[in-house]
Amino acid sequence: MNTSSAPAGHSDPSAGPYPGPATPVLVNRRLRPDADPAGLSVFGDARWNLSPAIFEDHYTTMTIGFGRVPRPFVPAAKHYVWAELNTGTPPVLKHARMTRLAVYSHMVVARRVRTFLSWLEARGVERLADVTSAHYDGFVADLLESAYSHSDRVDIVNVVRRMWVFRELLPPPVRLPEPVPWGGQDSRALLGRSPRGRRIENRTPRIAAETMEPLLAWALRFAEDFSGDIIAALQEVRPFHGQRGADRRTRYPHRSGKGPHGGLYRDITALIERLRAGGRPLPGRVNPRGEIELDWPQLARLMDTAPHGVQISPHRVLFAQSGLPIVNGAHLDHPVSGLLGGRPWLEAIDYHQVEQLTRVLVGACAVVICYLSGARVGEVLSLRRGCIDYDPASRLWLMHGRKWKGARDSHGAKMPEGQIREHPWVVAEPVARAVGALEQMHASDLLFSAVVLGKKPSGRDRAKSTAEIGETITEFIDWVNAYCRARGRRDTIPADPGGAITPSRFRRTLAWFICRRPRGLVACALQYAHLHVQMTLGYSGTYASGFPDEMALEQWLTRLEDLEDAERRLQAGEHVSGPAADAYRARVTGGTGRFAGRVIRSGRQARSVLANPALQIYPGEAMTCVFDPSTALCQMQEDRRQDADTADASGTPDLADCRPGCRNLARTDRDMRHIHRQAERLRLLVDDHLSPPIRLDRERRQLDHLNQIIAEHGQVTARKKPTT
């Protein structure tokens, strides 16, 4: 890995002399291995390219421009940003945690600096040395009246404070005055606390179930059933891209022969015979008059030659005399094998469809990997070839990759190159198949390469950006809906109430589904409960993954909603029976009042609050668990106890292993409706005297048990009825 070396006298801005016009901008930053030293920006440039020091593969070119900075302040802005970029250990600022900023953060810093400098220029200030305390106070007053959000105001004030603390590292003409701005007050004292509400908030909207379920179903179809056809079509058309006439003449010199029986004449004859043998038509297109004519460019591609040579008179006659029909479309040789409802999902794949179908498949694979892994978007987009591994001992699919969030060096600064995850993500098998499909689509080391079909653009091979993969997912959804409309299918992907499906929304959506629908189906019989076990108890369940925090926050919201609903039903006269009925009423009554307004700022805090006994109520099917781990029968087996540091803590019940005699059971009126339905079904089976005796005896005993539960609940109901 390359590390830029500073010219003599420029290793650190505090050492002096200060940077000159030819001083590299990234003089003290680690550079990418593929960075071109000759193309690095220098201090005198009007725009600085920071990309050589950004290691995240999904980031596009990032630059800082000084064209919009007020002209008198351009040297000050440049010297300050350069010092921020290249000072290894920032100076100490009172009441602030000063760490070295990530390279891409300096784009925001430059914008915040420009805000302050533009404000000064508008008030006739042309030198930083002339800034007074009145200017500082006026700036904050105007900032409070501006349209900036509270967090933006905090960032702007902190940048001004950082400019002051860096003053000793800057040339004297571009320093702020010696008196500390605002008398040393921090942003909280100047701007107040954040006006955000006290209830827990996650600003990332989850994807509605009505949208997510068909979206995932179609994504799995593409990744598992249709990908083979698209990849085969992609391989078939790839030779047609990026070729030039000179290349053809070099590789096929026999085609320069003239005469009616030259090389091209023989190629046309061979093509016609190949199409006739396969029962295929000639490719056609609709001309401006609405008539179908031969698609000359496609015919030229099939023979790897120039279109004008195919259209000369002797060659046109060969096609006319062939007797082959002409259809609208340039169908490829590959026969479609993927099925949908027992029939091929497409009649044929057209040459002109391949580029779009390639993007659609990439979008489908992105949905599968982002959603079913729970990984962050940047981590997914930076995945590389060979990232999937199968562990036969644990029978788990493992996805290896690099992380950036939380990757810091011994000084607390962000590590620009990130870190290889110590523990891989544990994923479902469809994720492995989606990764395999991407690996077959191109030769790039990056799974989500920015270029899959066509020539590689100039510059480094990079992954799709977050915005680009979002557009690709949108194109996938649009294609599916157009496909459904054209074929009269009803399984379209509805628009989501939260807006566009951006990849950052998948993590929260998965956490919500696991918490709210632990037994729900994820299309194609994938169970959320299975994913829950993999993602929270497997390797990716460590706090380094961040996913347990998402889970804890969603569990907190779920428990509060369940508690509020239970209290509302109790107040409406709902009856409760079972050994834990009294404990249920005690925990539910006033429960929402005890927790309303609780500030939850992190997943760790949510996990701590979740341990409160008042929240240990778990609605199940035909019963409610009022959980007490000391008496819970599902906890009695030692091998069920999990490590306390995992996301699925030992203090939670196993609703799939609920035992009839457990003292934690309570039954509400809503639970009893399930029991009545079960009893009715068993009565029909018991009345069938043709059933085998062993089965009949088992069903009769089950029915007797349910009748006893119904009778006990009826006694509670009778005691609660008012007397007349």
Nearest-angstrom CA–CA distance, 126 and 107: 23
Q: Which residue bears the tokens 């990079």?
A: 462
Instruction: Fill in the DSSP letter of residue 31.
Output: -
pLDDT of 499:
92
pLDDT at 364: 98
Cβ 23 vs Cβ 10: under 8 Å: yes
Domain final residue, candidates 191, 212, 227: 191
Residues 604 and 532 in one domain: no
Instruction: Tell me whether residue 688 is in a domain.
Output: yes
Residue 252's pLDDT is what? 39
Q: Looking at the chain, how many residues does it have? A: 724
pLDDT at 43: 95
Same domain assignment for residues 468 and 428: yes
Q: Are residues 472 and 531 in the same domain?
A: yes
Q: Which residues of the chain have pLDDT under 50?
A: 1-15, 197-201, 243-261, 457-458, 518-545, 597-600, 637-650, 723-724
pLDDT for 645-677, tens place per residue? 333 444 567 766 778 778 889 989 888 888 888
List pLDDT tens digits, range 447-481.
999 887 755 544 567 889 899 999 999 999 999 99
- What tens digit of pLDDT does each residue of 483-492 get? 999 999 999 9
The domain of 469 spans 198-241+334-388+424-545
Q: Is 505 in the same domain as 579?
A: no
3-state helix, strand, coil in the chain (%, to 5): 50, 10, 40
DSSP β-bridge partners for residue 119: none
| pLDDT for the residue numbered 704 | 87
What is residue 182's predicted lDDT score, i.e. its pLDDT? 94
Q: Which two structure tokens, joined as six digits, stand for 219?
A: 């994504």
Residues 508 and 656 reside in one and the same domain = no
pLDDT at 203: 64
Q: Do residues 642 and 571 both lie within one domain?
A: yes
Pairing of strands 326-328, 292-294: unpaired
| Model pLDDT for residues 262-306, shown as the tens digit of each residue | 578 888 888 888 888 878 888 888 888 888 888 888 888 777 777
Half-sphere exposure of 467 (CA within 13 A, CB side): 2
Residue reference for tokens 């010092």? 83
CA torsion sign for 180, 183, 187, 190 is negative
Residue 284: inside a domain: no
What stretches of 51-182 show up as alpha helix (H) in DSSP? 74-86, 105-122, 133-145, 150-165
Whether the CB-CB separation of 425 and 373 falls below 8 Å is answered with yes
* pLDDT for the residue numbered 488: 95
User: How far, in Å, CA of 249 to CA of 184, rounded?
Assistant: 74
On whether both 368 and 512 belong to a single domain, the answer is yes
pLDDT score at 418: 73
Residue 416 falls inside a structural domain: no
Same domain, 497 and 597: no
Cβ atoms of residues 209 and 127 within 8 Å:
no
**Rounded CA separation 548/642 (Å):** 15
461 and 338 share one domain: yes
Domain boundary among the residues 132, 161, 191 is at 191
Q: Do 95 and 58 belong to one domain?
A: yes
Q: Is residue 570 part of a domain?
A: yes
The structure tokens listed for 429 are 């098998």
| Buried b or exposed e, range 421-439, using 16+ CB within 10 angstroms | beebbbbbebbbbbbebbb
326 sits in which H/E element: strand 326-328
CB atoms within 10 A of CB 40: 18
Whether residue 304 is contained in a domain is answered as no
Instruction: Enter the tokens of residue 637.
Output: 């087996």
Omega of the bond leading into 297 within 30 degrees of 0 (cis): no
Q: Are residues 50 and 103 in the same domain?
A: yes
Which pLDDT tens digit goes with each residue over 564-609? 777 788 888 888 898 988 888 888 876 555 555 444 455 555 555 5
Q: How many structural domains is the chain composed of?
A: 3
pLDDT in tens, 369-390: 999 888 889 899 999 999 999 9
394 falls within a domain: no
**Residue at which a domain ends, from 545, 579, 603:** 545
Q: Domain check: are 528 and 439 in the same one?
A: yes
Residue 710 within any structural domain of the chain: yes
Amino acid in the structure at residue 560: L
Quote the CA–CA distance of 88 and 29 in Å, as a whole number: 9
Query: Is 252 domain-assigned?
Result: no
